[in-house]
Amino acid sequence: MSLEIKVPPVGESITEVTLSAWKKEEGDHVEMDEVIAELESDKATFELTAEKAGTLKRVANEGDTLAIGAVVANIEEGEGAPAATADAAPAAKPEPAKEKEKTPADTATEASSLEIKVPAVGESITEVTLSRWIKNDGDAVEMDEAIAELESDKATFELTAEKAGTLKTIAKEGDTLAIGAVVCTIEGSGAAAPSAPPAGTSVADATNESPQTSPSKGTTYASGTPSPAAAKILAEKGIDTKAVSGSGVDGRITKGDALNAKAEAPKAASPKPTAAPAAPAQPAGPRSDRREKMSSLRKTVAKRLVAVKNETAMLTTFNEVDMAPIMELRSKYKEKFKDKHGVGLGFMSFFTKAVTEALKEWPAVGARIEGEEVVYSNFADISIAVSAPKGLVVPVIRNAESMSLAEIEKAIVVLAGKARENKLSIEEMTGGTFTITNGGVFGSMLSTPIINSPQSAILGMHNIIERPVAVNGQVVIRPMMYLALSYDHRIVDGRESVSFLVRVKQLLEDPTRLLLGV
């Protein structure tokens, strides 16, 4: 029998893909779930696998554009038997191979083999990247032990073994995998040895490095393994993880360990001074480039930013706010505020509260487009842009319009902490109605922030600079901040955007209005 291998559905908005590369040749024998080709859409690259064992018969060619559901190849009946060698006669009968194929031991092994697949991690996530193997091929693993690290465009998480046994890796580090794709298999059950011991080797010798002996050595799978943030820092410094000792739980390398680690200084020849050089002296030290693969987060952020610029009618309006009233209020009550609520009183809670009040008056600023409809929300889920080790993330404060300043400050502290430790969940980063970003913490004086799609507006905060301004006919020095509101002109008109920003300015320059709701 022949089985057709078709282009699988890969997303609601994707209608066609390109066959970028064949991984197996015409007539090759393939095993079930073995990668046979690489497909590429306008959003991602993914692998096509064989749905049964047999002989590959190609239908499409490299470079072909194929619709979803189109036939890519056929798998001819082979029942998992090894393919004949290239110089074997085509008419050779496969029956002997069938008889040898499945022994009772093979059947038992197959029955005890468990496929470990990419789990569903969120409605909007269709693929992940296998960033790192924590365990190696052939290692014995325990149930629930972390075996690999997966990275989506929004978060990093660990893949765990669903039973004890021997790990057989299928995917490679750096591979992009669709949700549900097979990452590896766990062979055998219990504390199985990686492979059968050679003749003359005792069972005790063969299992000498099993996990059961690890506690006696004082090590675990986490020993010497860097956290995602630490791995990025060490890679940037060019330091091998083997040269760093971990101070975290079970010897894990923390971000602090990575920051304190020092690379061995390269030995560069000392420049020879000359009294009158004939030509400019060449700089001492090595000259080199370092290439680093873009993370899934960085690639997705790049695509979304370009899409927003191309798909929205984005404009930016500006204003400035006198920060003296808020600064005086913070200076007067910050100690009492912290004693009572256990959290500091920052600027972000004032801006968040001011935005929620302004959204009540100008709801179009917090609306979004879905198809041919404009969706208005009677709540304010405020996204706060946070710079994390792997890039910009935007966690969401839910129902901010009903929260006090103290509740907003506590929510910001929790979400920012999770962002820096790469522990934000998908739910904590989706569903916002309006975004606030603070470039002022990095010294930005003025910017035009890009809308966080599918939202329709974003408020940009900037640094506070003392400037001379006219107040009641007198020139005085005041702490001033520029505000920038970028908005989608398809939904928000100029009157609404300017009025919204003016309302935010009024509330910030007279913070008692935030308490009185006027």
Encode pLDDT of 336-346 as tens digits. Answer: 999 999 999 99
> What's the confidence (pLDDT) of residue 178?
87
What is the percentage of the chain residues whose pLDDT exceeds 70? 78
Average pLDDT of the chain, as a whole number: 80
pLDDT over 60 at 58, yes or no: yes
pLDDT over 90 at 91, yes or no: no
**Alpha carbon of 503 to those of 299, 358, 360, 491: distances in Å?**
36, 6, 11, 19
Cis peptide before 454 (omega within 30 of 0): yes
Fold assignment, 1-101: OB fold (Dihydrolipoamide Acetyltransferase, E2P) (2.40.50)
Q: What are phi and psi of 402, to 5 degrees?
A: -105, 10
pLDDT over 50 at 216, yes or no: no
> What's the confidence (pLDDT) of residue 278?
63
CATH classification code of 102-194: 2.40.50.100
Pairing label, strands 434-438, 457-461: parallel
> What's the confidence (pLDDT) of residue 467?
94
Asked whether the whole model's pTM tops 0.75, one would answer no
CATH 2.40.50.100 in the chain, residues?
A: 1-101, 102-194
pLDDT over 90 at 365, yes or no: yes
Q: Which two tokens stand for residue 187?
A: 């062979």
Q: Which two tokens stand for residue 278?
A: 């004939």
What is the CATH class of 314-516?
alpha beta
How far apart, in whole angstroms, are the C-alpha atoms of residue 431 and residue 452?
A: 11
Q: What is the pLDDT of residues 485-500, one digit of tens each?
A: 999 999 999 999 999 9
pLDDT over 80 at 114, yes or no: yes
pLDDT over 80 at 200, yes or no: no
Catalytically active residues, by annotation: 489, 493
* The 3-state secondary structure of 272-288, one letter per residue: CCCCCCCCCCCCCCCCC
> Of the ranges 249-253, 284-288, 317-321, which is most confident?
317-321
8 Å CB contact between 225 and 134: yes
> What's the confidence (pLDDT) of residue 279?
62
Question: pLDDT grade, residue 320 (50/70/90)?
Answer: very high
What is the percentage of the chain residues whose pLDDT exceeds 90? 35
- Cα four-point dihedral sign 484, 488, 494, 499: negative
> Of the ranges 105-119, 208-222, 383-397, which is most confident?
383-397
> What's the confidence (pLDDT) of residue 518?
63
Residue 365 CB contacts under 8 Å (≥ 6 apart), including other chains: 358, 359, 434, 456, 457, 487, 492, 496, 497, 500
8 Å CB contact between 459 and 437: yes
What one-character-per-residue DSSP string does 182-223 give?
EEEEEESSSS--SSPPPTT--HHHHTTTSGGGHHHHT--TTT
> What's the confidence (pLDDT) of residue 10?
72
The average pLDDT across 69-83 equals: 71
pLDDT over 90 at 281, yes or no: no
Q: What is the pLDDT of residues 127-138, one digit of tens each?
A: 888 888 999 998
